[in-house]
Amino acid sequence: MSLLQVRDLSKAFGGVRAVDGIHFDLHEGELLAMIGPNGAGKSTTFNMVGGQLRASGGSIQLQGRELVGAKPRQICHLGVGRTFQIAATFASLTVLENTQMALLSHHKRLYHWWRPVRDQYREQALALLEQVGMAAHAERPCSELAYGDVKRVELAMALANDPRLLLMDEPTAGMGPQERNELMALTKRLVVERRMAVLFTEHSMDVVFAHADRMLVLARGRLIAEGDAHSIRNHPQVQQVYFGSGKTFERPPQEPQP
């Protein structure tokens, strides 16, 4: 059985149907990309899976458990980690402390009020930061970091609860091409090592085609195509809707060309 089952999922903001009856499955060990033009409904879908938004209809099941109606923190404790399109970290904490907080929450130590945070889960936090390449910055305040680095800290935090499912909304924003590929390679490695599943969005098609196992294409809230790189590349409707006529996959609209 698949890890995540999304059925007939919808979200309406007033009259706008931001997400309109989408279906998809996500399997353990899979790196699934969700692509689509701006405003297609990608972040809205992520927010419904993560519990930040409540779906207007449909269901989301994680290993048979319904997520619609659950709060983000409950979904977190069910084993879902996530990053946000606009990275959210704790600005007045150091990189290390951010990660320690995620670990403390995972181990239900939040209401401990005596032992200082300083020496709790330090090693584990450093190990996570090592994985995402931020160990050297462990003692810096999060507010001082470059945006790409904040995204990495977010990733480390999202990994702290040993998630089965990781949601990454534009994880490589603010990074150079080299860094993007490295980060996605790392993600792929984590998927295999931890036997988890990843759903991510990404505007760089090079990155998507190079790393994703499978992709979903969203346009105006509807799922218009699903499949591997080859079938998506040649899908006529995708070419039509997603890029408009005349543009190709090699020149996605988000990437300013030199």
Partner 1 sequence: MEFSALLAQLLNGLAEASSLFLVAAGLSLIFGVTRIVNFAHGSFYMLGLYVAYSTVEYLVGRLGPAGFWVGLVVAPVAVGAFGALVEIVLLRRIYKAPELFQLLGTFALVLVINDATLYLWGPEELLGRRAPGLAGSISLLGRQFPTYNLFLMVIGPLVLGLVWLLLARTRWGVLVRAATEDRQMLGALGVNQAWLFTAVFALGALLAGLGGAVQLPREPANLALDLRSIGDAFVVVVVGGMGSLPGAYLAALLIAEIKALCVGIGSVHVLGLDFSLSKLTLVVEFLVMAVVLVVRPWGLLGKPQAGSRNSAPAEAPLRPAGNGLRWVALVVFVALAALPLLQTWLPYASVLAQDVLVSVLFAVSLHFIMGPGGLHSFGHAAYFGLGAYGAGILLKVLTLPMPLAFTFAPLVAGLGALLFGWFCVRLSGVYLAMLTLAFSQIVWSVVFQWEAVTGGSNGLTGVWPAAWLGDTAYYYLTLVLVAASVLLVRRIVFSPFGYALRAARDSALRADAIGIDVMRVRWAAFVVAGLFAGLAGALFVFSKGGVSPDVMAVGKSVDGLVMVLLGGIQQLVGPLLGASVFSVLQDSIMRATDYWRAVFGGVILLLVLVFPHGIAGFFQGLGNAWARLAARKPALLPREKRA
Q: Which positions touch partner 1 (CB under 8 A)?
A: 50, 52, 71-73, 76-77, 81-82, 84, 88-94, 97, 100-102, 104-106, 109-118, 120, 141, 143, 154, 157-158, 160-161
Please report whether residue 13 would count as binding ligand ATP according to CB under 6 A: yes
Residue 159 binds which one of ligand ATP, Mg ion, partner 1, none, with CB within 5 to 8 A depending on kind? none
Reduced 3-state DSSP string for the chain: CCCEEEEEEEEEECCEEEEEEEEEEECCCCEEEEECCCCCCHHHHHHHHHCCCCCCEEEEEECCEECCCCCHHHHHHCCEEEECCCCCCCCCCEHHHHHHHHHHHHCCCCCCCCCCHHHCCHHHHHHHHHHHCCHHHCCCEHHHCCHHHHHHHHHHHHHCCCCCEEEEECCCCCCCHHHHHHHHHHHHHHHHHHCCEEEEECCCHHHHHHHCCEEEEEECCEEEEEECHHHHHCCHHHHHHHHCCCCCCCCCCCCCCC
For the CB of residue 252, give the shortest distance to partner 1 in the complex, in Å.
Answer: 28
Piece of 13-21, 159-167, 226-234, 242-250 that binds ligand ATP (CB under 6 A): 13-21
Number of residues near Mg ion (by CB under 5 A): 3
Piece of 41-49, 99-107, 176-184, 186-194 that binds ligand ATP (CB under 6 A): 41-49
Residue 90 binds which one of partner 1, ligand ATP, Mg ion, none, with CB within 5 to 8 A depending on kind? partner 1
Residue 18 binds which one of Mg ion, partner 1, ligand ATP, none, with CB within 5 to 8 A depending on kind? ligand ATP
